[in-house]
Amino acid sequence: MRDERSSPSRVRIAVIGSSRVGKSALIVRYLTRRYIGEYHSNTDLLYRQTVPINGTPIELEVIDVSGSNLDKFPTEQIQWADACLLVYSVTDRTSFEYATEVLNILKKPQNSSPAHNPATSGMPLALLGNKTDLDHLRQVPTKDGQSVSAAHGASFSEASVADNTGDLYRCMDKLLAEVRTPQRSRKFSVTKMLGSLIGGQNNNNQTTRGSVVACPRVPTPTRPALAAAAP
Ligand SMILES: Nc1nc2c(ncn2[C@@H]2O[C@H](COP(=O)(O)OP(=O)(O)O)[C@@H](O)[C@H]2O)c(=O)[nH]1
Ligand SMILES: [Mg+2]
């Protein structure tokens, strides 16, 4: 019998980072092994797929957070998630500073940040520097990523989603494996979260911040399934 405490059947990951760092390409690469060069979306997207982690099937939900400025800090998405993957581009110093700032906010003492509460403390975090294939354009030395992640208790990797380096799979698999604690109590219910993402139907808040895409097991990049993951 599976131990639910050590092997949750569902893991939720929020992928956060500046625009154009490769978040969408990374998620699609991880889930489908395919590379999509251009994948524009101004809304949060939710991907759902069953993946084997250490031989155990896990229902993985990944939210691709579209906003990337601190005015629209993704508090709700972070509180929804079991773990966060912060992505920056090694060719874009500003994107590294944004990822660092998000880590700073997540690690602020309790009550000093809206994102920091019992639901996020102890949350597994990973920092990933993407686009290492563009080393000639590099603006962020590896050691900077290493030191920031170490200071915040996050794991660190560099990868090239374009070149399909194995690091991105190791990074995601490690993050999933780190989600070992029982499902934490959530400030925002999943129902409310999904309701708001698909446009506020059945949701008194009527927040229309995005749409939900539930990917099939092997999504077709040009024709993602649009089955709403609403309850
Ligand atoms: N050279 C290179 N380009 C990448 C890599 N990953 C993503 N890109 C490109 O970066 C751009 C932004 O990617 P996207 O996934 O849309 O970024 P997002 O805005 O963070 O979701 C696209 O043109 C991608 O093709 C990478 O590893 N190397
Ligand atoms: Mg994107």
Does ligand 1 come within 6 angstroms of the Cβ of 161? yes
Decide: 120 and 79 in contact? Cβ < 8 Å. Answer: yes
Q: What is the pLDDT of residues 146-202, one digit of tens each?
A: 999 999 999 999 999 999 989 999 999 999 988 864 444 444 444 444 433 433 333
Decide: 191 and 140 in contact? Cβ < 8 Å. Answer: no
Q: Which domains does the chain possess?
A: 10-180 (3.40.50.300)
Asked whether the predicted pLDDT for residue 113 surpasses 70, the reply is no
Does ligand 1 come within 6 angstroms of the Cβ of 162? yes
Q: Are strands 56-64 and 10-17 parallel, antiparallel or unpaired?
A: parallel
Q: Where is 157: in which H helix or E strand?
A: strand 155-158
Give the C-alpha distances (Å, rounded to integers) separating 153 from 49, 113, 176, 220: 28, 18, 16, 36
Query: What is the model's pTM?
Result: 0.78
Mutating to test ligand 1, I would choose from 20, 38, 213 the residue with most ligand atoms within 8 A of its C-beta, which is 20
Asked whether the predicted pLDDT for residue 210 surpasses 90, the reply is no
